[in-house]
Amino acid sequence: MKRRRTVRRVPPAGLRKACTGIGGLDEILDGGLPAGRPTLICGGAGSGKTLLTIEFLVRGANQFDEPGVFMSFEETLGELSQNVASLGFDLEQQIEEGKLVVDYVLVERSQIHETGEYDLEGLFVRLGHAIDTIGAKRVAIDSIETLFTGLTDTALLRAELHRLFRWLKSKGVTALITAERGEGSLTRHGLEEYVSDCVILLDNRVSNQFATRRLRIVKYRGSQHGADEFPFMIGESGLSVLPITSLGLTHDASDKRISTGVQRLDQMLGGRGYYRGSSVVVSGTAGTGKSSLVAHFANATCSRGERALLFLLEESPSQYLRNMRSIGIDLMPWVRQDLLRIHAARPTLCGLEAHLQTIHRLTAEFDPAIVAVDPITNLASVSTFAEARALLIRLIDFLKTRQITALFTSLIHGDRDAETTDVGISSLMDVWLMLRDIEHNGERNRLLHVLKARGMAHSNQVREFRLTTEGIHLIDAYIGAAGVLTGTARLTQEAHERDSEAARLEEVNRRERELQRRHLALRAQVEALQVELETNGIELERLHAQAEQQRIAAARDRAAMSRARQADTVAETSPTTARQPPRSRDGRRKEA
């Protein structure tokens, strides 16, 4: 019993913590369990108490170099190691390496006869011996209440257990003590009165035929801790707790953009697609092309050499690959190059938490740039609305903190209001693409519009969404007096428009030709008149010249006559041809 106490270097203000190494648990414990102190784990049968304690010891020995002692009142070493072998824990090997001691304590009522006063020193000695043998820093006792079934002196047992917990504290070991959940109290025998540093409650509830395990820290003296109920999972690699939310909305927002895989859709989203690390929901009724959008996005991501992770809840991977080939997207090469991983599972396969767990695990393993869940609404079918929403919040936070772009599809039932997503997730999403299906003119056509896109200028236009053998095509829908027209109605309308346009052009050409002709005719007329005018002017000049000559001749005749008559000679003014005013071209004169 002379074990070297661990030296406490941390100032008394800060409580020393012992990491559990269990995913998520350390976060909500704000670092770990109180080091050097006992912690009580209570819960009903099958709530995971034993596993939690074993994992605490195994991880302590493997990851933190803290050997552990497991004192089991319920299962023998053989049973224990079989039970945890499926989680990849090799107890036998740890025992061989001197990192673990398992002490099975048998308390068999039929063998025991009480013949007077006693104490539990035997237990102390065994525990002390085990601790000293390997220099253990962690101890788990599962579950000590079995003592109450073998020994009858309850008052004495309670006093001894109280002493045990104080003794564990004085040994400086971090101890986990499990206890059965009691009616109206945390534990059946009131152990919580003695273990006051930290109490964790485990619970396994069944709702809608799906069991969800939950964990709550009832108290943790001297430390901050998450106060909510946290769902936890027993997965392939042990226990993991899923904090409801990461520590607030602190994730960084990226300015980088990532293509949607559809060129026109990129343009609709401010020309460059989604923001990296954003969450996108594509909602629509059945058969509106949600999965195809997912395939485009995955294809674009893999083409850039980045990884994509798809979770399918409706189709098998091979069915999905085949279907996407039919619209001209072959994802198989990406799968072969390990750029694309497809995980398919029926939502009813396991509870909601297990799905989230799988997503977490694969995401951590594969480290993708994008994660798509198709369709997210199916998850709501295995739980309640509130739970599905809580799960999504956690999922989105998880992906955002890792800067992973998330694409969720949301199936809307035709009879619902299309602009409410089933799981009420719209407010969590950064981008919401809405696919609709309109029936008109004896056919159904798909429409796409961007309902919201945080932080980017996006198109307000409704586009017709067509699935062709070369993938998705977005076409401007015809929007006119008759409303939005799509499909053949749009084609008819467009043809009609083309026809009337041609007719209009024809009419314009005809009128132009006619006017031109008239113009030419008028011009010819003008020219003829001009010629006539000039002819007229020349005529007039000649007439004037003639008249002048006649006047001169007459004057000369008159002079000759008067000479001949010897009349008085009155000096006649000299001939005044020069006095004539100049004539204009048109030959008109101001005076005759």
Minimum CB separation of residue 130 from other proteins in Å reads 8
Task: Please name the residue ranges forming H helices in 151-232.
Answer: 154-171
Minimum CB separation of residue 152 from other proteins in Å reads 10
Nearest one of 346, 352, 59, 357 to 234, comparing CA atoms = 357
Which is nearer to other proteins, 76 or 525 (by Cβ)? 76
Minimum CB separation of residue 139 from other proteins in Å reads 15
Q: Which residues bind other proteins (CB under 8 A)?
A: 103, 105-107, 111-123, 125-126, 128-130, 147, 150-151
How far is it, in rounded angstroms, from Cα 239 to Cα 102?
Answer: 20
Which is nearer to other proteins, 115 or 468 (by Cβ)? 115
Catalytic residues: 74, 314
Which is nearer to other proteins, 102 or 356 (by Cβ)? 102
Which is nearer to other proteins, 79 or 506 (by Cβ)? 79
Decide: helix, strand or coil at residue 509: helix
Q: Look up residue 520 and give its two tokens.
A: 């030419």
Task: Calculate the alpha carbon distances from 77 to 89, 94, 135, 174, 539 in Å.
Answer: 13, 12, 20, 21, 143
How far is it, in rounded angstroms, from Cα 576 to Cα 531?
Answer: 33
How far is it, in rounded angstroms, from Cα 322 to Cα 331?
Answer: 9
How far is it, in rounded angstroms, from Cα 84 to Cα 215?
Answer: 20
E strand residue ranges, 425-546:
431-440, 443-453, 463-468, 471-476, 478-480, 483-485
Minimum CB separation of residue 137 from other proteins in Å reads 19
What does the DSSP assignment read for 184-203? SSSSTT-GGGT--SEEEEEE
The helix (run of H) or strand (run of E) holding residue 592 is: none
Which is nearer to other proteins, 128 or 587 (by Cβ)? 128
Task: Calculate the alpha carbon distances from 358 to 246, 310, 312, 344 in Å.
Answer: 18, 12, 12, 11
Which is nearer to other proteins, 129 or 504 (by Cβ)? 129
Minimum CB separation of residue 140 from other proteins in Å reads 16
Minimum CB separation of residue 109 from other proteins in Å reads 10
For the chain, the first-to-last Cα distance in angstroms comes to 157
